[in-house]
């Protein structure tokens, strides 16, 4: 660095002008501080010269970023301010005299608290560990300065000599890794993703409480390759826009709500669900868009490859084709989220919905080797809605019922369609494993699934719930006394819809 003002002021006996210049610069650049040190680390001028916590006269010769800059390189360091006690990111540069020798060091300190505050306010959980495994930034302030694994003597000595954490006790972080994809912290289970942050060898750790989202991501990585970065981008995106927007909205709502606690809680849950769905919509739009082209290219290659006898004889062609089908299925499911509610409503008969769905799932029902009972009302049971979407709901419910019965002997699937109290009802009942004490809201969270990776995306119920909501209806889930579950779709009968 060769700023004449810095050099001349440094050679001047009074640093008054420089102090003020630094203060201006720091204000404009949004820095916590910018300061100039001599070759011993003594602060000669500083932007915070006129504050109580002025750095002037302090000596930071013990900080590694000072020594690195003194040796002619840029230094970077994260630490708790020795003077302020506030954590910050320090960047230092050497200052050269007119002969080209390092004459002093200039450093800036960035305040990291804003970043941290935005995390604290967000509902997601993020923390960042440094090269030693010490948590240096965290959405949960009580996790700060904990170590992910015990430090060696050498690391402890170095941290002490740098006064990196201002003498704060560095206790071990009470977390337990469950496999590669999950962690348990303070009795809460999270899906866990971590990625290097490049600078300083830091690692960003991102926690999601949706149980299986990461397994979905692994599946996606397998299929799409490199989609992990998309997940992280998604996480960042979620953090930066949706969560913030949802939070702002929820905060505005909250101030207005003078309702009871339960109402407030419901509103918040709904908000977080909608914001997740909205984020999912954005993600789905980009994923389906990005994958549309490569998938159709693969179809073309496959069509060409079918001519290759060797490929065909080894079943390669068929296997590849199945994989492409699967990818297409996934994008089809995702596509649902990208344009909800833009179809026209018509009179739809539940009976016809049932007949069409049977054609789609007949094969699965037969393959499941179960008893199948139906009780279908003889009238047409009309509702206002979109037929394809209502069919999608019934397909999802039947597929879930079959999945829940896959390990049960003598299982029975029953479907009932009837009219009751001016409502059209479809009930799908199974004698499967039931859903225990989990609530429907939990089951219908996007990506929530208990199915093995590759079998379920955890989107069936969230798609179904969204469709039923669009139709002004209700989805009810109940466990049956003798085992199994019943899902009931209830919509207003068409004559009752305006
Ligand atoms: P997926 O079927 O892909 O897992 P869904 O959103 O359709 O996704 O369902 C989410 C979860 O809800 C299932 O993984 C399962 O744990 C539970 N579930 C849904 N339907 C049933 C059912 N009929 N019986 C028991 N559990 C069910």
Among 221-230, 236-245, 387-396, 461-470, the minimum mean pLDDT is found in 221-230
Residue 240 in this model has a pLDDT that exceeds 70 = no
pLDDT band at 198 (very low <50, low <70, confident <90, very high): low
From the alpha carbon of 396, which atom of ligand 1 is closest? 7
Q: Is residue 242 part of a domain?
A: no
Question: For all residues of the chain together, what is the average pLDDT?
Answer: 77
Q: Is residue 39 part of a domain?
A: yes
Residue 50 token pair:
């006129």
Residue that terminates a domain, selected from 163, 194, 210: 210
Residue 253 in this model has a pLDDT that exceeds 50 = no
Residue-range definition of the domain harbouring residue 151? 114-210
Q: Is residue 186 part of a domain?
A: yes
Do 107 and 122 lie in one domain? The reply is no
Residue that terminates a domain, selected from 86, 111, 136: 111
**Residue 401 Cβ < 6 Å to ligand 1:** yes
Residue that terminates a domain, selected from 167, 184, 210: 210
How far are the Cα atoms of 17, 18, 90, 318 from residue 22, in angstroms, in the given order? 9, 6, 16, 69
**Residue 447 Cβ < 6 Å to ligand 1:** no
Per DSSP, the three-state class of 15 is coil
User: Which pLDDT score, from 0 to 100, does residue 168 have?
Assistant: 80
Do 472 and 407 lie in one domain? The reply is yes
**Ligand 1 centroid vs 473 CA: distance in angstroms?**
20
Q: What is the residue with the minimal CA distance to atom 21 of ligand 1?
A: 400
Do 388 and 470 lie in one domain? The reply is yes
Q: Domain holding 195: CATH number?
A: 3.30.450.20
**Residue 449 Cβ < 6 Å to ligand 1:** yes
Report pLDDT digits (tens) over 22-72: 888 888 777 888 899 999 999 999 999 999 989 999 999 999 899 999 998
Do 95 and 119 lie in one domain? The reply is no
**Residue 451 Cβ < 6 Å to ligand 1:** yes
Do 31 and 167 lie in one domain? The reply is no
Do 366 and 431 lie in one domain? The reply is yes
Do 443 and 375 lie in one domain? The reply is yes
Q: Is residue 338 part of a domain?
A: no
- Euclidean distance between CA atoms 291 and 340, whole angstroms: 20
**For the ranges 202-206, 338-342, 433-437, 439-443, the one whose mean pLDDT is highest:** 433-437
Do 107 and 120 lie in one domain? The reply is no
Q: Is residue 334 part of a domain?
A: no
Mutate to test the pocket of ligand 1, among 280, 332, 397, 400 (most ligand atoms within 8 A of CB): 400
Q: What is the residue with the minimal CA distance to atom 27 of ligand 1?
A: 435
Do 164 and 177 lie in one domain? The reply is yes
**Residue 84 Cβ < 6 Å to ligand 1:** no
Q: Is residue 381 part of a domain?
A: yes
DSSP3 helix / strand / coil % (the chain, rounded to 5): 45, 25, 30
Do 100 and 124 lie in one domain? The reply is no
- Euclidean distance between CA atoms 189 and 174, whole angstroms: 13
Q: Is residue 30 part of a domain?
A: yes
From the alpha carbon of 460, which atom of ligand 1 is closest? 7
- Euclidean distance between CA atoms 447 and 133, whole angstroms: 31
Is the pTM of the predicted complex or chain greater than 0.75?
Answer: no
Residue 413 token pair:
């699937």
Do 448 and 365 lie in one domain? The reply is yes
Q: Is residue 413 part of a domain?
A: yes
CB atoms within 10 A of CB 19: 22
**Residue 485 Cβ < 6 Å to ligand 1:** yes
Do 31 and 156 lie in one domain? The reply is no
Contact criterion met (CB below 8 Å) for 142 and 90: no
Q: Which residue has the higher pLDDT, 83 or 284?
A: 83
**How many separate domains does the chain show?**
3
Q: State the Cα torsion 48-54-59-63 to the nearest 10°.
A: -60
User: Which pLDDT score, from 0 to 100, does residue 211 have?
Assistant: 44
CA 409-413-417 angle, 5° bins: 170
Residue 477 in this model has a pLDDT that exceeds 80 = yes
Q: Domain holding 437: CATH number?
A: 3.30.565.10
Q: Which residue has the higher pLDDT, 451 or 114?
A: 451
């Amino acid at each position: 660095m060769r700023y004449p003002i810095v050099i001349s002021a440094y050679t001047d006996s009074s640093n008054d002008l420089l102090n003020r210049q630094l203060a201006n610069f720091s204000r404009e650049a949004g820095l916590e501080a910018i300061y100039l040190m001599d070759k011993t680390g003594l602060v000669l001028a500083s932007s915070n010269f006129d504050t109580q916590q002025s750095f002037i006269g302090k000596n930071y010769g013990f900080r590694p970023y000072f020594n690195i800059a003194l040796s002619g390189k840029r230094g970077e360091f994260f630490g708790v301010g020795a003077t302020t006690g506030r954590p910050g990111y320090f960047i230092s540069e050497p200052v050269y005299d007119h002969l080209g020798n390092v004459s002093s060091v200039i450093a800036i300190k960035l305040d990291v608290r804003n970043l941290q505050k935005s995390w604290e306010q967000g509902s997601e959980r993020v923390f960042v560990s440094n090269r030693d495994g010490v948590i240096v930034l965290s959405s949960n302030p009580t996790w700060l300065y904990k170590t992910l694994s015990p430090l060696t003597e050498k690391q402890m000595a170095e941290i002490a000599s740098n006064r990196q954490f201002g003498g704060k006790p560095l206790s071990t972080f009470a977390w337990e890794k469950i496999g590669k994809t999950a962690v348990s912290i303070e009795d809460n289970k999270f899906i866990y993703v971590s990625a290097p942050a490049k600078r300083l060898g830091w690692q960003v750790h991102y926690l999601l409480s949706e149980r299986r989202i990461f397994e979905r991501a692994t599946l996606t990585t397998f299929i799409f390759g490199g989609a992990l970065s998309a997940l992280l981008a998604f996480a960042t995106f979620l953090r930066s826009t949706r969560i913030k927007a949802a939070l702002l909205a929820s905060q505005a709502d909250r101030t207005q709500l003078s309702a009871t606690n339960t109402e407030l809680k419901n509103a918040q849950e709904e908000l977080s669900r909608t914001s997740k769905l909205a984020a999912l919509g954005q993600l789905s739009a980009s994923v389906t868009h990005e994958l549309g082209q490569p998938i159709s290219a693969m179809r073309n290659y496959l069509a060409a490859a079918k001519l290759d006898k060797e490929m065909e004889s080894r079943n390669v062609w068929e296997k590849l084709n199945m994989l492409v089908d699967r990818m297409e299925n996934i994008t089809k499911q995702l596509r649902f989220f990208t344009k909800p509610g833009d179809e026209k409503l018509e009179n739809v008969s539940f009976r016809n919905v049932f007949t069409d769905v049977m054609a789609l799932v007949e094969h699965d029902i037969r393959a499941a080797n179960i008893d199948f009972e139906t009780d279908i009302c003889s009238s047409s049971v009309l509702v206002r809605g979109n037929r394809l979407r209502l069919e999608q709901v019934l397909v999802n419910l039947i597929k879930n019922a079959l999945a829940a019965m896959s390990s049960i002997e003598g299982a029975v699937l029953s479907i009932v369609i009837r009219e009751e109290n001016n409502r059209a009802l479809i009930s799908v009942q199974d004698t499967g494993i039931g859903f225990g004490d989990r609530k429907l809201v939990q089951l219908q969270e996007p990506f929530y699934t208990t199915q093995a990776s590759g079998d379920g995306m955890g989107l069936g119920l969230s798609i179904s719930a969204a469709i039923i909501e669009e139709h002004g209806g209700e989805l009810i889930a109940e466990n049956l006394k003798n085992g199994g579950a019943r899902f009931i779709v209830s919509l207003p009968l068409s004559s009752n819809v305006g």
